[in-house]
Amino acid sequence: MTSVRSRRAEETYRKLAAEFIERESDNTSLITVTSALFDGRARRCVIRVTVLPDSEQEKAIAFLNRRQGDFADFARSRVRSGAVPMFSFTLDLGEKNRQKIDALSQSS
């Protein structure tokens, strides 16, 4: 997959993941989709999220990974090409670290 096409597909899956989470979550936590990234051959797509409050992170990731098949069906129904990658969800630790650095720099 070309890089432009890959970036476009990643952005599509990021938006679809955000829509799916908004529809399916119970709103006990705020789950924000930060990115979608393909592996080298675009067979797998990792959806990165942040979760607030931090105490709900494990529950949110468990929920999302339990529902990854449902998300694949949701994505398949909205994407023109018939094939969708395998999905997994993970915390965006880079974003969490950036937020901590911002908080530290503002407090000093």
pLDDT at 74: 96
Domain hosting 35: range is 3-107
Instruction: State the total domains in the chain.
Output: 1
Section 11-22 average pLDDT:
97
CATH code, domain carrying 47: 3.30.300.20
Burial of 4: CB neighbours in 10 Å, binned 0-12, 13-18, 19+: exposed
Section 82-98 average pLDDT:
86
pLDDT in tens, 31-52: 999 999 998 777 999 999 999 9
Q: What is the DSSP string of the chain?
A: --HHHHHHHHHHHHHHHHHHHHHHS-SSSEEEEEEEEE-TTSSEEEEEEEEESGGGHHHHHHHHHHTHHHHHHHHHHH-SSS---EEEEEE-HHHHHHHHHHHHHHH-
pLDDT at 104: 80
Q: How confident is the model at residue 97 (pLDDT cuts 50, 70, 90)?
A: confident
Q: How confident is the model at residue 64 (pLDDT cuts 50, 70, 90)?
A: very high
Residues β-bridged to residue 49:
33, 91
